[in-house]
Structure 1
């Protein structure tokens, strides 16, 4: 059992190391030697777990996809209004982009010119965002004349901008930035009746997430891979 546990830990450390290097240097410049060194194992040990750098990239994206799904599912299961669900999910995603290198690297690979046949995580996120906005439209939560596709484009542009620019300024990965965005957007996006019930700063779902994250009790589930560190400040 101890040997099996050690193999699991080694695999997790390799995923973390690969994510950190993909995130800092991009897929093309990442080397298997540097990834194994970052994980504190030999290149032979890396080859035992992963046959290629491409397989490592696919594994990082698979972990990021699981994390993204966890965010949307957790926020949806709380059953607030669709717009509040969307607000909450953007808050969690923004802070996780700053805290979880696997999630950040997985999304980053989608926009990496050297990466092909990826998981298209941003398209999956866009599909979920549009779904929430479509439900909001059906329930009469959107302001008159607002189309889900148009609103989705604005949300996507903002979140992807936070992900990209946050690599240069980690302060963008914050609740404060997301709250300001929603305070500016909601008067044009939401109907007057629904707007009165929305919290641009996030509902109790986000507050509970923050509390559990600080406590380190594992509530983030698949968002943590062996407690991967984050190195935003090293970029």
Structure 2
């Protein structure tokens, strides 16, 4: 059991070190020796857990994907109304990208041309946003004349824009940026924008009473 726990800790250390190096240097320039040094393990230990740089990058993406799925599941569990889930999850995702290098690197690897693979995390986020906007439309929460496709396009473009720009300037990953985006979009998107804000405020108050961080930002 002790040996298994040590192996699990080493694997997680390598994933984090890999994420840090991938985020700083990109996939192509990152070296396994630099990653093993940052993790404080030998090259042999790295190759015991990951047969190649590609395998390590996939592990980073898998961890980031798991985190993203947890964010959207938590948003769904808090309220259940699709449009509120959407606002909640965008705040949660951008905040996690800012705070967690594994999630940040996972998204960057998804769009790294050096890998020659499809943008799996970005595609999954796009798919979830599109499905959630369609549920909002079915629930009658989209304003008349608002296209679900157009709304999803704007939300995906903005949130992934925050992620890309945040790699160079962390101000793009701030709560204020996401709040400003929704303050601009919600009145156009739904006639119930005041209700969405009220629900978010109530969630924030409940979270504060329980000693939890604000789940949806300001």
Q: Same fold (TM over 0.5)?
A: yes
Aligned to 1:143, the other structure's residue is in SS state coil
**Distance in 2 separating the partners of 1:147 and 1:87:** 18
Q: Which position in structure 1 is the counterpart of 2:95?
A: 95
Among 171, 184, 196, the alignment partner of 1:198 is 196
Q: Which position in structure 1 is the counterpart of 2:38?
A: 38
Query: Quick one: structure 1 residues 119 and 165, their matched pair in 2 at CA, closer, same or farther if it must change by over 3 Å?
Result: closer
5+ unaligned residues in a row in structure 1: which ranges?
A: 215-235
**Distance in 1 separating the partners of 2:60 and 2:198:** 31
Aligned to 2:197, the other structure's residue is in SS state coil
**Distance in 2 separating the partners of 1:78 and 1:186:** 20
Deviating 4+ runs (over 2 angstroms): 116-119, 200-214
Superposed CA RMSD: 2.1
Residue 114 of structure 1 deviates from its aligned partner by 0.7
Higher helix share: 2
**Distance in 1 separating the partners of 2:38 and 2:167:** 20
Query: Quick one: structure 1 residues 173 and 143, their matched pair in 2 at CA, closer, same or farther if it must change by over 3 Å?
Result: same
2:27 pairs with 1:27: yes
Aligned to 2:65, the other structure's residue is in SS state helix
Contact 1:109-1:118 within 8 A present in 2 as well: no
Residue 177 of structure 1 deviates from its aligned partner by 1.0
Q: Which position in structure 2 is the counterpart of 1:111?
A: 111
Contact 1:64-1:102 within 8 A present in 2 as well: yes
Contact 1:130-1:152 within 8 A present in 2 as well: yes
Residue 182 of structure 1 deviates from its aligned partner by 0.4
Query: Quick one: structure 1 residues 163 and 172, their matched pair in 2 at CA, closer, same or farther if it must change by over 3 Å?
Result: same
CA deviation map 1:69-107 (0-9, x unaligned) = 100111012234211110000001111011011111111
Contact 1:92-1:206 within 8 A present in 2 as well: no
Aligned to 2:30, the other structure's residue is in SS state coil
**Distance in 1 separating the partners of 2:213 and 2:73:** 17
Alignment of 1:126-205 (within 5 A): 126-190=126-190, 192=191, 194-199=192-197, 202-203=200-201
Count of aligned residue pairs for this structure pair:
212
**Distance in 1 separating the partners of 2:70 and 2:204:** 13
